[in-house]
Structures are given as C-alpha cells and as structure tokens.
Amino acid sequence: MMKFRKPAQRNQAVKVLAYGENGSGKSIFALSFPQIGYVDSESKVGVYENDPRFKDNLVGIADTAEYYNVISLMETVIKDTKNFSTLVVDSLTSINEGMEVAAMEQEEARAKKKGGNIDDATVSMRGWGKIKLNTTRVSQLIAQASSKGITTVSIAHKKDITQDVGGKQVKVGERAALRPNAEHSYDIILKFYKEKDMVTQEMKYYAEVEKDTTNTYKVGTKLENVTYDNFRDYIERSNQSETIKAEYDKTIETTVGNMKQEQTSHDELVAEFKVLYKEKLAKDPTNKEIITNMMKEKDVVKYNDTAKSAQLKELIEDMKKL
C-alpha cells in the first residue's frame, strides 16, 4: 500500500518541452545538455554527431519513430542513471503521428478483410483509446525519468490555434502539436522561433518562456540562443539531492492489475449473493420482499456494479441472518 512520505529536498529533474517552427533551434538546444540518450525520430541529429560543440554530450543515439522501440529506449535510459543524465525525444509529434497512421492502417485492413471500402475507414474509438493509452505511457515514463534525476527534453512541432470568426477560421495563437493538455506534464515550456535582423540580415534564434516552475525566468521572457547553461544552476543544484522511490512507469500496469482484482473480487460476491438469494427464497418465499427492500436500503439494486462491492458485502451478511 502506498504511504505518504515526509517532504524533503529531492533530486527531481526538470521536464522540458521545446516546440516551435522548423529550423528554429530546438534540436540544437537539446544537444547542449549533458550525457544524452537521444531518440531521433526524424533523422535530424546525424548532422551534429561529430560537431565539436555536441559530440561529447551524446552518450547514445537511437534512430527510430516506432512507439514500442521508443518506450524500450526510454526505459533503458531510466535504468542507467550512471551513464545518462538527459533523455531527449525528437520529436514526440512524429511518434504520435506514426501511431495515428498505424491505427488508420489497421482500420483499413479490417475494412478490406470484411469486404468494405477502405476509403470509408476511419480510426475507431477503440483505436483512439489505444493512442491515448500509448501517449499516457510516454508521459508516465517522462515522469519516472524525472523522479530518477534524469532531465527530459521533449521536442514537438507547432500547431496553430484557430477560432471561428464570421464563418472563417482565424489564427489566434500557437501551441505544441501534441495531445490536448500535454503541457500540464512539463516544468519548462519554451516556444522557439527565428527572426531576421533588419540591420545585419542575419537570422536570430529565440525561445519564449511559456512556463517555468523552476522560477529561473518569468513567463514571457525571450531568450536568444538558449542552451543548457540557461538552466544549469537549477538542474545541477537539484542533482546534489537524493532521488526518491517512485513508480510512475508502473501506473498503468498496476492500475490494470488492481482493476482486474477488484472485478474478480466483486464477481465472487455476486456469485455468493445469487446462491444465497436462491437459498433464502427456497427456505421462505416471503424473503423475496425482505431482500428486495434490503437491496433498496443499501442501494445495491444494480449489484453488478463494482462500485457497490462494500454495500453488497453488507447485504450478504444481513441476508445470512434471515
């Protein structure tokens, strides 16, 4: 059983989300971090592998956008805190899009097998549920990495936010091209963009701080050529503390196991109730009305509902007294 722990100074690494337009410096920012396990889903980092600025930061590079490979690689980094201190996933958008394509191809295969028109196939609710489950598992692994003292840098594309104005979709902002509310999982969110200097005609690279729970920068601060050094003090100060035991990565499996156990226990109660109900009616037919009233009093008319396990257990004990 999970217990509360005492508050303490802990090594909880930061979770960074870097998103923005193409070529705005997101990958270069990520490469400035130390001891990186780099998941490259878009074949971007190859041009920097031997760059003297970054090559010493890279412990390992994995060239894949396949979801299950990414999960395995994230688990590898989490288990090896001696060699890795940073996990980079570049980009989460690409991995999510890959899952959507895979789900769509599954639906088309089902339609073809049934003799339907594959052009009419759409991702089912079950398919979207699986995608949501997979993205949740990634988020939980990011949280687990943080609890182990591993800084995570998640890179994402940008997506326009629009609203209807006079029957037309008008752009009102931008956000990371990830699942809705993904930003809640991160400690630092930086929106990357580039601008041409009107005097020198050279391109300049910026990141706007949209969130920073480390209080290193105020929201709205614009950082030019942002790197690991901008957050070095906070990260390295945190690294001096102890990590805590956490099992965010086991959340889904543990919850599923508990739900199965809960269902099994409830099924056993239902089976016991049914046997006892027949016995009591055989003993005295008037018990039917008594038991019906007891069920209403304890709000277990729908006794198959697992949320009613405690009330059903009480009902069974009372029925035994009849």
Question: What are the b/e assignments for 157-188, b being 16+ CB within 10 Å?
Answer: bbeeeeeeeeeeeeeeebbbbbeeebeebbbb
pLDDT value, residue 249? 52
* Amino acid occupying residue 105: E
pLDDT at residue 34 in the model = 95
* C-alpha closest to that of 177 among 94, 93, 96, 98: 93
Q: Name residue 152's beta-bridge partners.
A: 15, 87
pTM of this prediction exceeds 0.75: no
CA 80 vs. chain centroid, Å, equals: 21
Stretches in the chain below the pLDDT threshold 70: 1-11, 116-121, 123, 239-264
Give the whole-angstrom CA distance, residue 54 versus residue 64. Answer: 20
d(CA 209, CA 212): 7
Measured distance CA(146)–CA(211) in Å, rounded: 17
What pLDDT, on a 0 to 100 scale, did the predictor assign at position 223?
A: 97
Residue 32: the pLDDT is 96
Select from 3.30.465.10, 3.20.20.70, 3.40.190.10, 3.40.50.300 the CATH code of 15-245: 3.40.50.300
266 contacts: CB under 8 Å, gap ≥ 6: 306, 309, 312
Is residue 91 reached through a cis peptide bond, with omega within 30 degrees of 0 on the bond before it? yes
At 82 the pLDDT is: 92
Tokens of 163: 């609203």
| Model confidence pLDDT, tens digit, residues 140-186 | 889 889 988 899 999 999 998 888 888 888 888 889 988 888 888 89
